[in-house]
Structure 1
Amino acid sequence: MQHKTQVFVYHEGDHYRTRLTHSLEVAQIARSISRVLGVDEDLAEALALAHDLGHPPFGHAGEAALDQAMAPYGGFDHNAQTVRILTSLEHRYNGFDGLNLTWETLEGVAKHNGPRPTDAVPGDIEAYSARHDLELHTHAGPEAQIAALADDIAYNNHDVDDGLRAGLFTVDDVRDVPLVGAILDDATADHPGGDEGRLIHETVRRMIGAMVEDVIDTSRQRLEEAKPRDAEAVRAHGAPLIAFSATMQAQGEALKAFLHERMYRHHKVNRMASKARRTVRELFELFIDEPQCLPEEWWGRCDGVRTVTTARVVADYVAGMTDRFAIQEHRNLFDTVLWR
């Protein structure tokens, strides 16, 4: 995960977030909220650390390309791929495949973003749940709900930090964004004439604090009103009990809209995403047409050309690549000057 894209491909620089640093930040935030609310910190941390394990190289661009390539074979979903990794792809123990995780961990990974509609359950999650019922129709437990909001808090804030660092927008550009602008003005007033780098870090720090405090205060109120007896009551409740206030939710949506327009659609990011999609698509197409080009242990799992089984093996292989390994594999296979 250290060499898998969050927004910027690894070669853009060493100081932008990756899937690993993002997951560590999510885990820190999830543990902090869990401690204050008195739920299982270890479970919340495990869910936060695991939530992005299924992402392929190049972030959402890579996932979109792999999902498109896999459309005739059941599609690709990074959340379902996480469950697949945790329950079958990891081969660590003699007695079983997967990591032998608890029901609560797998349930939280599968539905930390909410109940799964019966007509939209990815095949790998549906298949595992048929063997080990994850109660996909209910909300997740409180720790998974916390991990989901910690994910939002982490990426909203670190994307502001990374976007400013990359020069995709300026400090003045974010002054009109709700939440960011007000906190930025307060930080500027508290430290007039200060260094811009320190100002950015102070603003991001305060934003994280404001969002965490909002989740804690709102969730305490909801929990007090609902008075759930246990985690099962939390799951059975008709709405999440861990949540942002309506005001913070609106401010978060405004920030996401700003980042979508000024960062995720920036021409520099678009160019990286375009190249990423082509790299993933071309690797998939080559391997599904010529599975003998896969490493021997992977080729041995295939059953022909362009079959469902072979497609899933190829998807597993490509999804497990880091950015730099995918780039190197593509170069090895498509660069006719380079022979290996």
Structure 2
Amino acid sequence: MLEPYACQPDASRGRLWPERLSSFRSPYQRDRDRIIHSSAFRRLKHKTQVFVEHEGDYYRTRLTHTIEVAQVARTIAGVLGLNTDLAEAVALAHDLGHTPFGHTGEDAMERLMAPYGGFDHNAQALRIVTRLERHYADFDGLNLTWETLEGIAKHNGPVTGPNADAKHAGPLPYALAEVNAQWDLGLDTHASAEAQVAAIADDVAYSHHDLHDGLRSGLFTEDDLMELPVTGPAFDEVDSLYPGLEKMRRRHEALRRVFGRMVEDVIAVAQNRLAAAQPKSVEDIRHLGTTVIRFSKPLYQDLKAVRSFLFTRMYRAPSVMAVRAEVTQKLDDLFPLFLNDPTLLPPEWQVDVAAATDETELARVIADYIAGMTDRFAIQEHQRLCETATSSALRDA
């Protein structure tokens, strides 16, 4: 039974290309399944969050992160009486637009595409599910429902209007503008509660697993985490309950308590905010002017301290920064190489190259190609096209 403010499958605004309803799956279940079966979803296996793909088998990839986000989203949505299938669909799609090399790759693509309409991974995810996935006979993309597209576009909040985050100032990323021109996604309002759940599930998942990965990498220790809010009390509780517990079990027990604390906090806050707002429909949720799914203020402040620690000790650690510089250079080499000689792109991309009417459109084709690369493939392509060519030139000199 769904709450009145949940997205009801039979009230969906439908798909851009009308299709017959499935006899055994709801529209949002079909969206979820199409995302899972997409090429872009499979490529997440070899795209990374912080560490480059070849650095270790235990670090999270975009795929394992996405699965964790979907699990958290289903849990929270289920407790709140929301549509779990829609929450899961948005969660599974939220990182489809990410580049190789994690946040480093996205920073590079944003800079390289600045003269050509910019680059944003949420907008790129929309471009993938509406255009770049080309498997169906009747349409490009996955032909997802309006509600799933809305969730991908603005799960982090309104993109335009008075409630938009300051980072969205300026023109819309071209990929988002194209989709919104084709089908108005209501970018000036908040998204459904299901999409908000997917967004907070992303925060929960990466806050939890970055602590795991940072410890495993040796960039910091459990003693460091004892000094922080949230993590320190979690370790204290484990030490009290299980004195002398083996190191890896102690770590796991403490961080699972951090994970549980975040999820329980989100659920409690949401229940209180929903009870106060008394929304009667999903439209009420969209027009509240604020989110209903969020952390409490005390936990949010504590998590800011944890994230500040992670930023300094993990995301900007000297060893990580060295790799960031290395992979940034690879994208800095590949982008202008393809822009100057688009015949280097694979044959299946030449149709898009031929359709480009100016340098901006060509740059967007190249951004689509590079953003779709896995870490491994980007390294291989750089070696094949740049490093081999340089070696040959040196030999010929």
Q: State the TM-score bracket (shorter-chain normalisation).
A: over 0.9
Partner of 2:366: 314
- Structure 1 contact 215–244 (Cα < 8 Å) conserved: yes
Instruction: Output the CA distance in 2 between the equivalents of 1:290 and 1:306.
Output: 14
Instruction: Output the CA distance in 1 between the equivalents of 2:345 and 2:357.
Output: 12
SS at match of 1:251: helix
Question: Which 5+ residue runs of structure 1 have no aligned equivalent?
Answer: none
- Deviation per residue, 1:114-170 (Å, 9 max, x gap): 000254422211221122110000001001101111000000110000000000000
Question: Which 5+ residue runs of structure 2 have no aligned equivalent?
Answer: 1-43, 162-169, 393-397
Partner of 2:60: 17
Partner of 1:273: 324
Instruction: Output the CA distance in 1 between the equivalents of 2:360 and 2:177.
Output: 17
Instruction: Output the CA distance in 1 between the equivalents of 2:330 and 2:266.
Output: 39
Instruction: Output the CA distance in 2 between the equivalents of 1:155 and 1:75.
Output: 25
- What letter corresponds to residue 251 of structure 1 in structure 2? D
- Structure 2 contact 238–254 (Cα < 8 Å) conserved: yes
Instruction: Output the CA distance in 1 between the equivalents of 2:263 and 2:140.
Output: 37
Does 2:204 match 1:153?
yes
TM-score by length of 1: 0.97
- Structure 2 contact 192–286 (Cα < 8 Å) conserved: yes
Q: Out of 26, 43, 46, which is 2:86 matched to?
A: 43
Does 2:179 match 1:179?
no
Instruction: Output the CA distance in 2 between the equivalents of 1:117 and 1:268.
Output: 38
Q: Which moved more, 1:323-332 or 1:186-195?
A: 186-195
How many Å apart are 1:104 and its aligned residue?
A: 0.5
How many Å apart are 1:204 and its aligned residue?
A: 1.3
Partner of 2:264: 213
Partner of 1:302: 353
- Deviation per residue, 1:32-63 (Å, 9 max, x gap): 00110010001111111100000010011101
The 1:12/1:132 distance shift into structure 2, 3 A limit, reads same
RMSD of equivalent CA atoms: 1.4
Q: Out of 109, 113, 126, which is 1:66 matched to?
A: 109
Instruction: Output the CA distance in 2 between the equivalents of 1:74 and 1:278.
Output: 22
- What letter corresponds to residue 381 of structure 2 in structure 1? E
How many Å apart are 1:191 and its aligned residue?
A: 0.9
How many Å apart are 1:336 and its aligned residue?
A: 2.7
How many Å apart are 1:300 and its aligned residue?
A: 3.1
Q: Out of 151, 154, 158, which is 1:108 matched to?
A: 151
Does 2:295 match 1:252?
no
Instruction: Output the CA distance in 2 between the equivalents of 1:112 and 1:223.
Output: 18
Partner of 1:99: 142
Does 2:136 match 1:89?
no
Partner of 1:4: 47
Partner of 2:121: 78
Q: Report runs of 4+ in structure 1 exceeding 4 Å deviation.
A: 303-306
SS at match of 1:38: coil
Q: Out of 320, 333, 344, which is 1:293 matched to?
A: 344
Instruction: Output the CA distance in 1 between the equivalents of 2:388 and 2:74.
Output: 50
Instruction: Output the CA distance in 1 between the equivalents of 2:200 and 2:302.
Output: 14
- Deviation per residue, 1:301-334 (Å, 9 max, x gap): 2257970111011000000000000000000001
Partner of 1:242: 293
Does 2:176 match 1:125?
yes
- What letter corresponds to residue 96 of structure 1 in structure 2? F
Q: Which moved more, 1:303-312 or 1:86-95?
A: 303-312
- Structure 2 contact 77–197 (Cα < 8 Å) conserved: yes
Instruction: Output the CA distance in 2 between the equivalents of 1:38 and 1:225.
Output: 16
- Deviation per residue, 1:94-122 (Å, 9 max, x gap): 11111010110000000000000254422
TM-score by length of 2: 0.83
% identical aligned pairs: 53
Partner of 2:3: none
- Deviation per residue, 1:209-255 (Å, 9 max, x gap): 11000000000000000000011100000110111111111111111
Q: Which moved more, 1:246-255 or 1:104-113?
A: 246-255
Partner of 1:325: 377
